[in-house]
Structure 1
Amino acid sequence: MIVGSDLARARLVSRSVDVISTHQSPSGAYPACPTFSAYRGYAWLRDGAFIAEGMSRAGEVEGVTAFHEWCAEVIGAREGQVESLVRRAAEGESVSPAEMLPTRFTLEGGDGTDEWWDHQLDGYGTWLWALAEHTTRHGAAVRGAERAVKVATTYLSWFWDQPCYDWWEEHVDQRHVSTLGAIHAGLRAAIGTGLLDEAEAKAAAEAVEGITALVEAEGVAQGGHLRKWLGSDEVDASLLSCVYPFGLYPADHPVAVATVAEVERQLAHEGGVHRYLADTFYGGGRWVLLAGFLGLNHAAAGRREQALRYLDWMGAQATDSGELPEQVSDVLLAPGRFEEWLQRWGSVATPLLWSHGMYLMLADALEVRS
Structure 2
Amino acid sequence: MTTVAQYQALAARSHAVITAHQHPGGAYPAAPTFSAYRGYAWLRDGGFTAEGVSRFGDVASANRFHDWVSRVLADRRAQVDRLRSAGAAAPVEQMPPTRFTFDGHDGADPWWNFQTDGYGTWLWSVVTHARRHGLDPARWLPGIEVAVDFLTAFWDRPCYDWWEEHVEHRHVSTLGAIHGGLRAALSVLDGSRASAAAAAADAARQLVLTEGTRDGHLVKWLGSPAVDGSLPACVVPFGLVDAGSPVAAATLAKVAADLDADGGVHRFTADVFYGGGQWLLLSALLGWNLARAGDPAGARRHLSWIADQATADGELPEQVPHHLLHPASRPEWLDRWGPVATPLLWSHGMYLILADELGVLA
TM over 0.5: yes
**Does residue 1:138 correspond to 2:133, yes or no?**
yes
* Aligned mates of 2:103, 2:157 — CA distance in 1: 28
Q: Out of 145-154 and 228-237, give the one that drifted further.
A: 145-154
Change (3 A) 1:202 1:143: closer
Task: Tell me the SS of whatever aligns to 1:169.
Answer: coil
Match of 1:99 among 94, 97, 105: 94
Maintained 8 Å contact 2:352/2:361: no
* Aligned mates of 1:88, 1:365 — CA distance in 2: 43
Residue of structure 2 in register with 1:197 after alignment: 190
Maintained 8 Å contact 1:68/1:142: no
- The one-character-per-residue Cα deviations of 1:226-280 (angstroms, maximum 9, x if unpaired) are 0100010100011010011111112210000000000000000001000000000
* Aligned mates of 1:126, 1:283 — CA distance in 2: 27
Residue of structure 2 in register with 1:326 after alignment: 318
* Aligned mates of 2:74, 2:67 — CA distance in 1: 10
**Does residue 1:216 correspond to 2:214, yes or no?**
no
Matches within 5 A, 1:220-259: 220-221=213-214, 223-259=215-251
Residue of structure 2 in register with 1:358 after alignment: 350
Q: Out of 30-39 and 249-258, give the one that drifted further.
A: 249-258
Q: Shift of residue 19 of structure 1? A: 0.5
- The one-character-per-residue Cα deviations of 1:55-78 (angstroms, maximum 9, x if unpaired) are 000000000000000000011100
**Does residue 1:64 correspond to 2:41, yes or no?**
no
CA RMSD, Structure 1 to Structure 2 (Å)? 1.0
Residue of structure 1 in register with 2:179 after alignment: 184
For 2:101, give the aligned amino acid. Answer: T
* Aligned mates of 1:144, 1:107 — CA distance in 2: 20
Q: Out of 203-212 and 31-40, give the one that drifted further.
A: 203-212
- The one-character-per-residue Cα deviations of 1:171-203 (angstroms, maximum 9, x if unpaired) are 00000000000000110111112xx33111111
Task: Tell me the SS of whatever aligns to 2:45.
Answer: helix
* Aligned mates of 2:118, 2:78 — CA distance in 1: 19
Residue of structure 1 in register with 2:169 after alignment: 174
Residue of structure 1 in register with 2:199 after alignment: 206
Task: Tell me the SS of whatever aligns to 1:229.
Answer: coil
Task: Tell me the SS of whatever aligns to 2:168.
Answer: coil
Task: Tell me the SS of whatever aligns to 2:213.
Answer: coil
Gaps of at least 5 residues in structure 1 are: none
For 1:244, give the aligned amino acid. Answer: V
* Aligned mates of 2:289, 2:310 — CA distance in 1: 22
* Aligned mates of 1:17, 1:261 — CA distance in 2: 31
Q: Shift of residue 147 of structure 1? A: 1.3
**Does residue 1:263 correspond to 2:252, yes or no?**
no
* Aligned mates of 1:250, 1:142 — CA distance in 2: 26
- The one-character-per-residue Cα deviations of 1:317-369 (angstroms, maximum 9, x if unpaired) are 00000000000012100000000000000000000000000000000000012
* Aligned mates of 2:27, 2:195 — CA distance in 1: 31
Residue of structure 2 in register with 1:304 after alignment: 296
Maintained 8 Å contact 1:73/1:144: no
Maintained 8 Å contact 1:69/1:142: no
For 1:66, give the aligned amino acid. Answer: R
- The one-character-per-residue Cα deviations of 1:292-328 (angstroms, maximum 9, x if unpaired) are 0010010000100110000000000000000000000
For 1:81, give the aligned amino acid. Answer: Q
For 1:261, give the aligned amino acid. Answer: A
* Aligned mates of 2:120, 2:191 — CA distance in 1: 20
**Does residue 1:27 correspond to 2:20, yes or no?**
no
* Aligned mates of 1:206, 1:103 — CA distance in 2: 24
Q: Shift of residue 108 of structure 1? A: 1.7
Q: Percent identity?
A: 55
Q: Shift of residue 43 of structure 1? A: 0.2
Q: Shift of residue 144 of structure 1? A: 5.0
* Aligned mates of 1:143, 1:55 — CA distance in 2: 21
* Aligned mates of 1:141, 1:347 — CA distance in 2: 42
TM-score by length of 1: 0.96
Matches within 5 A, 1:103-142: 103-141=98-136
**Does residue 1:348 correspond to 2:348, yes or no?**
no
- The one-character-per-residue Cα deviations of 1:89-121 (angstroms, maximum 9, x if unpaired) are 1xxx51221111100001121111111000000
Maintained 8 Å contact 2:127/2:137: no
* Aligned mates of 1:192, 1:35 — CA distance in 2: 38
For 1:360, give the aligned amino acid. Answer: L
Maintained 8 Å contact 2:265/2:279: yes
Task: Tell me the SS of whatever aligns to 1:237.
Answer: coil
Maintained 8 Å contact 1:86/1:155: yes
Maintained 8 Å contact 1:236/1:263: yes
* Aligned mates of 2:172, 2:135 — CA distance in 1: 31
Residue of structure 2 in register with 1:337 after alignment: 329
Residue of structure 2 in register with 1:39 after alignment: 37
Maintained 8 Å contact 2:275/2:324: yes
Gaps of at least 5 residues in structure 2 are: none
Q: Shift of residue 141 of structure 1? A: 4.3
